[in-house]
Amino acid sequence: MFTNPEQNILHLGLSDGMRVADFGAGTGFYSKAASARVGYSGKVYAIEVQKDLVKKLESDIKHWGLSNIECIWGDIERLNGTKISDHSMDAVIISNVLFQAEDKLGVVGEALRVLKKGGKLLLIEWMESFGGMGPTKEHVISPTYARELFEKRGFKFEENITTSAHHYGIIFKYESR
């Protein structure tokens, strides 16, 4: 039912030394997977708006023995809300959070602000609503609508990826500054 972070991030082409922002990091599954790909010389910024999740993730990172993940209490919907420098990230991960955002264009704008020219974005979202898992039916974001949101702001569609029976994945690239 759930997606496989390790498999999904392979489509970002991450390598040693890269910098990645995990928007809405939650419990850190994508941050941990990205951490392994960028190595000790890379950095993952796990951005989360819920303070209790930030504290839990900080504790988990220590338990996992990872030194290349930094937790940030931030707002992915607001310009500069992630507290990350302009044009400093090689990749952004947005997994299962866009449907929750009140300002979806704000999320897209913040991703654009932090990405380097040529940076990639991995979007994972629910395809449907069911029994208390994921979004309610009215909050499901279709792949078509997701593409429109990102392409209107300057992202280029790269590929659809297979994730799970209940999710879809899209890789975007930002090429112009």
* Digitized pLDDT (tens) for each residue of the chain, 177 residues in all: 478 999 999 999 999 999 999 999 999 999 999 999 999 999 999 999 999 999 999 999 999 999 999 999 999 999 999 999 999 999 999 999 999 899 999 999 999 999 999 999 999 998 776 766 777 777 888 999 999 999 999 999 999 998 888 889 999 999 865
Round to the nearest angstrom and report the end-to-end CA distance of the chain. Answer: 38
Residue 177: its pLDDT value, please? 54
pLDDT in the model for residue 38? 98
Give the integer Cα–Cα distance in Å for 171 and 67. Answer: 27
167-174 and 115-126 strand pairing? antiparallel
Four-residue CA torsion sign, 15, 18, 23, 24: positive
Q: What is the CATH number of the domain that holds 80?
A: 3.40.50.150
Residue ranges making up the domain that contains 167:
5-174
Alpha helix ranges (H) inside the chain? 5-9, 29-38, 51-64, 104-114, 143-152
Cα 105 off chain centre by: 15
| Number of domains composing the chain | 1
| Antiparallel, parallel or unpaired: β 43-48 and 167-174 | unpaired
